[in-house]
């Protein structure tokens, strides 16, 4: 024999997610609203507003307010909350500052959204050293930006992500190699990224409530029910996932989508929500100093039937007016009048803005709605 089997060193992945990101940035900017219920998103118009909540502070969450909830419902849950429109350029700047500081550590790095990133810390060789670095990162972000974040450290990306969500806000959870399945087992299946309300109900319907139930379920029956996705679900439940931390190429598209709490065929609601998506995508573009050429609208009906329609312009632009008229045209062409579960908007064929071409039709006040 001669050779001992090589013991491979563990993969150590860190996932970092900022707490109530937009709301925390606003509270950092305005000390007078710290500690209050703060809701970022559409104008509530004293309960008559259309549109949805982007996010809210943990104080507002205590009233039951959540992301993507109709703003009218948020208003009725907590009329005295501070309601603010989103200031995307500010959030994009803060995000860049945080991501740059994470990149500087020199580990493989992957930004996955405006406020989330993975680092591959395998080179550190030990979970306790990685836990120490996680504490250092949290302190450094708090010192430079005043913001708190939650961090999960584990041997896979998915477990690290579930761990970062486990003790929010200001959490730090280290799940050492070999502990993943026991960490996951008691958690509700909804905690698995990608399992939404619908899949949760479907799994509950066959007696699967916790991730442990999912791990113990017969994989063949999962495959019969969910196709190839059944294998992936089963592996996730067992803590198996070999996804790597990969630095993303340039930003390829900017997108937003909203899932309705209740499917809707109300035209004015659809237009209002599309308007919010247009605002958010446009703020994102301006924040990233990008111009776009292709606009795509996606709608999903009851029963997961999804349709998309795209339009490509002759020349790139950053005009919000063009974005709005194109998106509204696409929705008009796409929508047959049935009830809609989800609406999405994305822009692609992006290029960096040249300051001389900027179209200044995007001004928006960041004062509280009054
Ligand atoms: P999240 O990380 O999902 O939420 P969060 O940071 O506000 O709160 P948590 O502490 O639970 O992580 O999203 C990051 C930002 O993205 C959020 O601050 C606002 C924006 N966002 C929307 O605009 N609409 C949405 O539906 C969601 C979920 C987020
Ligand atoms: Ca977050």
Ligand 1 center from residue 230 Cα (angstroms) = 28
Distance 21 CA to ligand 1 centre (A): 6
Tell me how far the alpha carbon of residue 245 lies from the centroid of ligand 2, in angstroms.
19
User: Measured between alpha carbons, how far is 299 from 274 in angstroms, rounded to an integer?
Assistant: 11
On the question of pLDDT at 8 being above 70, the answer is no
**Which ligand has the shortest distance to the CA of 26?**
1
Vertex 265 angle, CA 263 and 266, to 5°: 115
Q: What is the Cα–Cα distance from 111 to 260, expressed in whole angstroms?
A: 27
Q: 125 to each of 106, 134, 159, 177, 213, how far by Cα in Å?
A: 15, 14, 18, 12, 32
The backbone torsions φ and ψ at residue 61, rounded to the nearest 5 degrees and listed phi first, read: -65, -30
> Is 51:277 a contact under the CB 8 Å cutoff?
no
- Catalytic residue selected from 26, 32, 59, 116: 116
CB 17 less than 6 A from any atom of ligand 1? yes
Q: With a 6 A CB cut-off, is 20 part of the ligand 1 pocket?
A: yes
Rg (CA), the chain: 22
Tell me the average pLDDT across 156-181: 96
For the entire predicted model, the pTM comes to 0.74
Percent of residues, the chain, with pLDDT higher than 70? 93
Q: How far apart are the first and last CA of the chain?
A: 78
As given in the structure block, the two tokens for residue 231 are 């294998």
- CB contact at 8 A, 121 and 133: yes
Q: Which pLDDT score is estimated for 288?
A: 82
pLDDT above 80 (res 299) = yes
Residue 202 annotated to the active site:
no
Which residue's CA lies nearest to atom 28 of ligand 1? 67
Element (H, E) at 125: none
Section 102-121 average pLDDT? 90
Confidence (pLDDT) at 212? 97
> Measured from the CA of 116, which atom of ligand 1 is nearest?
2
> What length is written for the chain?
370
Q: Which residue has the higher pLDDT, 227 or 2?
A: 227
Cα–Cα dist 135/10, whole Å: 20
Q: What is the pLDDT of residues 204-220, one digit of tens each?
A: 999 999 999 999 999 99
Q: Are 294 and 237 in contact (CB under 8 A)?
A: no
Q: Is 112 in the pocket of ligand 1 (CB under 6 A)?
A: no
Asked if residue 68 has its Cβ within 6 Å of ligand 1, the reply is yes
pLDDT digits (tens, 9 = 90+) for 346-355: 998 888 775 4
Q: Which helix (H) or strand (E) holds 18?
A: strand 13-18
Give just the sign of the alpha carbon dihedral 98, 38, 189, 138: positive
Does the pLDDT of residue 252 top 50, yes or no? yes
CA of 91 to the centre of ligand 2 (A): 12
Cα–Cα distance, 299 to 344 (Å, whole number): 6
Binned at pLDDT 50, 70 and 90, residue 249 comes out as low
- What is the Å distance from ligand 2's center to 146 Cα? 15
Mean pLDDT of 135-155: 97
Q: Quick check: CB of 118 below 6 Å from ligand 1?
A: no
Closest-lying ligand 1 atom to the alpha carbon of residue 18: 6
Pocket residue to mutate for ligand 1, from 19, 20, 21, most atoms within 8 A of Cβ = 21
Closest CA to 341 of 298, 309, 295: 298
Atom of ligand 1 nearest to the CA of 22: 18
- Where does the chain have alpha helices with state H? 21-29, 58-61, 71-77, 88-103, 127-145, 157-166, 180-184, 197-205, 211-216, 219-226, 229-237, 267-288, 320-334
Residue 179 has a CB neighbour count (10 Å cut-off) of: 15
Q: Among 55, 111, 196, say which to mutate for ligand 1: greatest number of ligand atoms within 8 Å of CB.
A: 55
Q: Per residue in 11-59, pLDDT tens?
A: 999 999 999 999 999 999 999 999 999 999 999 999 998 889 999 999 9
Query: What's the average model confidence in pLDDT over 80-87?
Result: 96
Considering only residues 161 and 316, tell me which one the structure prediction assigns the higher pLDDT: 161
330 CA from centroid of ligand 2 (Å): 31
Residue whose Cα lies nearest atom 7 of ligand 1: it is 20
Tell me what the pLDDT averaged over the chain comes to: 90
Point out the least confidently predicted range of 239-248, 284-293, 356-365.
356-365
Q: What is the pLDDT of residue 356?
A: 44
Cβ of 293 below 6 Å from ligand 1? no
Closest protein CA for atom 21 of ligand 1: 54
- Residue 323: how many other CB atoms lie within 10 Å: 23
């Amino acid at each position: 024999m001669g050779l001992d089997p090589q013991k491979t060193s563990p993969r150590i992945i860190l996932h970092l997610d900022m707490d109530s990101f937009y709301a925390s940035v606003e509270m950092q900017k305005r000390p007078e609203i710290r500690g209050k219920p703060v809701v970022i998103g559409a104008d509530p118009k004293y309960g008559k507003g259309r549109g949805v909540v982007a996010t809210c502070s943990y104080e507002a969450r205590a009233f039951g307010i959540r992301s993507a909830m109709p703003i009218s419902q948020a208003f009725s849950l907590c009329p005295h909350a501070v309601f603010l429109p989103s200031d995307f350029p500010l959030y994009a700047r803060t995000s860049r500052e945080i991501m740059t500081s994470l990149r500087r550590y020199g580990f493989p790095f992957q930004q996955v959204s405006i406020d989330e990133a993975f680092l591959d810390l395998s080179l550190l060789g030990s979970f306790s050293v990685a836990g120490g670095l996680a504490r250092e990162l949290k302190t450094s972000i708090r010192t430079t930006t005043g913001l708190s974040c939650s961090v999960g450290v584990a041997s896979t990306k998915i477990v690290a992500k579930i761990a970062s969500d486990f003790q929010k806000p200001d959490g730090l959870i280290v799940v050492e190699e070999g502990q993943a399945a026991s960490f996951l087992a008691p958690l509700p299946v909804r905690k698995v990224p990608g399992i939404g309300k619908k899949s949760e109900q479907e799994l509950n319907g066959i007696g699967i409530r916790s991730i442990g139930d999912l791990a113990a379920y017969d994989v063949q029956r999962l495959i019969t029910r969910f196709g190839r996705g059944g294998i992936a679900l089963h592996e996730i439940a067992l803590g198996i996932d070999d996804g790597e931390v990969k630095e993303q190429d340039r930003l390829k598209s900017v997108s937003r989508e909203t899932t309705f709490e209740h499917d809707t065929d109300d035209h004015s609601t659809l237009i209002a929500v599309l308007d919010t998506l247009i605002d958010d995508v446009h703020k994102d573009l301006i924040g990233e100093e990008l111009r776009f050429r292709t606009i795509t609208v996606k709608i999903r009906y009851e029963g997961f039937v999804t349709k998309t329609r795209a339009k490509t312009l002759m020349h790139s632009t950053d005009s919000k007016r063009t974005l709005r008229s194109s998106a509204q045209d696409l929705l008009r062409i796409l929508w047959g009048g049935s009830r809609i579960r989800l609406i999405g908007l994305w822009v692609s064929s992006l290029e960096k803005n040249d300051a001389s071409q900027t179209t200044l039709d995007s001004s928006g006040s960041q004062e509280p709605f009054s």
